[in-house]
Structure 1
Amino acid sequence: MANEQNEQSQDLSSEQTTQDHEQTQTEGVEQGAEISVEDLKAQIGKLEESLKLEKARTANAVYEAEKVKERAEREADTAKKFALEKFAKSLLDSVDNLERAIQAAGEEKTPLLEGVELTLKSLTTTLEKFDVVAVDTTNGFNAELHQAVGIDPNAKSGEIGNVLQKGYTLSGRLLRPAMVTVGQ
């Protein structure tokens, strides 16, 4: 019987030790769990901030890419629009020569003069098709479109007296200014 009581008391003390050990582990786990939860919450906060930063960087990169794309498209459109600039400028000499030939022929209508006029008309039509247009000289002097090369005593102040050479624009941009005389 003493053996049984000894065994029972040993069993009780080992159970109590085991329970104490389990309770200590449980408390440690709970404290560890609380620390882990707090650590995890802090990590989540850091990751959320990092995610916000990366989203902002991505948005900026997408925005910049769109701007670069738009700029490239604008530059390509401009390049297409004004690719004919040198070619059109060189054709203007031919237009000037044909106009001088018509002026030199005078009033007499000859088949040669008609051919020159038709050639001039064909050339100016082709230039207009590609947006090469003569500068307006009827609405007075405009320093952005006209180049004053002399003074015309018969013209009113600010008015164009004589057009010495026509000016032209290509798609709204000045290709060659009109050389004119103006009144004082």
Structure 2
Amino acid sequence: MSEQAPNHQYDTKDPKAAQSNIEHDESILESTIEEFDPASNSGDEATIKNDINLDAFQARIAELEDEVKSAKEGQARANAEAYNAQRRMEQETEKSKKFALQKFAKELLEVVDNLERAIVSVQQDDDADDAIMEGVKLTHKSLLNVLNKHGVQVVDPQGEKFNADLHEAVGIDPNAEADTVGEVLQKGYTLHDRLLRPAMVRVGQ
């Protein structure tokens, strides 16, 4: 234990003596502070403090690692959601492009039907002009080619098994086998595999 600071009053009349007393007291004060300074304590106390600080740092590191992991997982989820949203948008856009002509194509089918009726009518007329017949056939073929180019396909199921998804039964054909399409009264059409108009048929019993 260091010596106690003397309890005296400085001699203000003798500056040198007063300065000497001040320096002496400061020396005693410094030695007292050092005696109670934790840094100057035993090695065990310093080790305990170091262990405490190390545990605190390790806990903070673990906490930061968890925060980084959570942030990465959140970013990954956000990226996945953005990718899925983009894919859905692309699919909807592609779907809209495919079926944008649905109404227009369906109206054109009436023109196709009229041309086919004209061909049948001309074929039954012995006095029909062959040039007119050829012109009607070419017009019919050209129109079908344009429709096919844009994904419209003919459904002409004569002799096939009846399919309620593509065919509409409007009568019975006594000459056809059971559940088989006999006479096709009106051809059907699909647009990119989606039913545009069912084929009107008669089915065997």
Q: Same fold (TM over 0.5)?
A: yes
Aligned to 1:52: 69
Q: Deviations over 1:58-113 (max 9, x none)?
A: 11000111111111111111111111111110100100011111112234452222
Which structure ranks higher in relative contact order (CA pairs < 8 Å, sequence separation ≥ 6)? 1
State the TM-score, normalized to the length of structure 2: 0.76
Larger gyration radius, structure 1 or structure 2: 2
Corresponding letter in the other structure for 1:61:
A
Deviation at 1:18, TM superposition (A): 5.5
Gapped runs of 5+ residues in structure 1? 1-9
Q: Deviations over 1:128-162 (max 9, x none)?
A: 11110101404221111100001111111111111
Aligned to 1:92, which of 93, 105, 109? 109
SS at match of 1:106: helix
1:59-138 equivalences in 2 (<5 Å): 59-107=76-124, 108=126, 110=129, 111-138=131-158
C-alpha separation in 2, matches of 1:142 and 1:149? 13
Aligned to 2:177: 156
Kindly indicate whether residue 190 of structure 2 is the aligned counterpart of residue 175 of structure 1.
no
Deviation at 1:50, TM superposition (A): 1.4
Corresponding letter in the other structure for 1:25:
A
- Residues matched between the structures, number: 174
Corresponding letter in the other structure for 2:57:
L
157-166 or 130-139, larger mean C-alpha shift:
130-139
Q: 1:97 to 1:33 in 2, by over 3 A?
A: same
SS at match of 1:149: strand
C-alpha separation in 2, matches of 1:180 and 1:147? 6
Aligned to 1:25, which of 36, 39, 46? 39
Alpha carbons 2:34, 2:40 under 8 Å: kept = no
Q: Which has the higher helix share?
A: 1
Q: CA RMSD in A?
A: 2.5
C-alpha separation in 1, matches of 2:34 and 2:85? 70
Gapped runs of 5+ residues in structure 2? 1-23
C-alpha separation in 1, matches of 2:190 and 2:92? 19
C-alpha separation in 2, matches of 1:99 and 1:66? 49
100-109 or 46-55, larger mean C-alpha shift:
100-109
C-alpha separation in 1, matches of 2:164 and 2:201? 11
Aligned to 1:142: 163
